[in-house]
Amino acid sequence: MLEELEPLIASMRLRTLIVDDEPVARKILREELELVEDVEIVAEADSGAAALEQIARHQPDLVFLDLHMPAMGGLDVVRRLKRGTHIPVIVIVTAYDQFAIQAFEAGAIDYLLKPVGQERLAEAVERARRLTARDAVERVAQGDLVWIITAKRKYLATQTLKVLQDRLSNSSFRRIHRNALVNIDHVRKMSPLSSQRWLITLANNLEFIVSKRQARSVRQLLNW
Based on the fold, state whether residues 119 and 181 are members of the same structural domain.
no
Mean pLDDT of 110-121: 91
What pLDDT sits at residue 145? 60
pLDDT for res 42: 95
In this structure, the answer to whether residues 99 and 172 fall within a common structural domain is no
**Same domain (yes/no): 118, 166:** no
Residues 119, 169 within the same domain: no
pLDDT digits (tens, 9 = 90+) for 47-80: 999 999 999 999 999 999 999 999 899 999 988 8
Check whether residue 107 and residue 189 sit in a common domain: no
Which of 137, 172, 201 is the last residue in one of the domains? Answer: 137
Same domain as 190, residue 98: no
Question: In terms of pLDDT, which residue wins out, 99 or 92?
Answer: 92
Q: What is the pLDDT of residues 131-144, one digit of tens each?
A: 776 554 443 363 45
The CATH number of the domain holding residue 86 is 3.40.50.2300
Can you give the pLDDT at residue 106?
79
Q: Would residue 145 count as lying in a domain?
A: no
My answer on whether 208 and 118 are in the same domain is no
Domains of the chain: total: 2
Res. 11: pLDDT tops 70: no
pLDDT of residue 10: 43
DSSP labels for 170-190? TSSEEEEETTEEEEGGGEEEE
DSSP string, 83-146: TSS---EEEEEES-STTHHHHHHHT-SEEEESSPPHHHHHHHHHHHHHHHHHHHH---TTTS--
Q: Using CA atoms, how far apart are residues 52 and 158, in angstroms rounded to an integer? A: 32
Pair (117, 35) in one structural domain: yes
Q: What is the pLDDT of residue 48?
A: 95
Domain range holding 170? 159-222
Q: Answer yes or no: are the C-beta atoms of 172 and 185 closer than 8 Å.
A: yes
| 183 and 124 share one domain | no
Q: How much of the chain, in percent, has pLDDT values that exceed 90?
A: 33
Burial grade of 215 (CB within 10 A; 0-12, 13-18, 19 or more): buried
pTM: 0.59
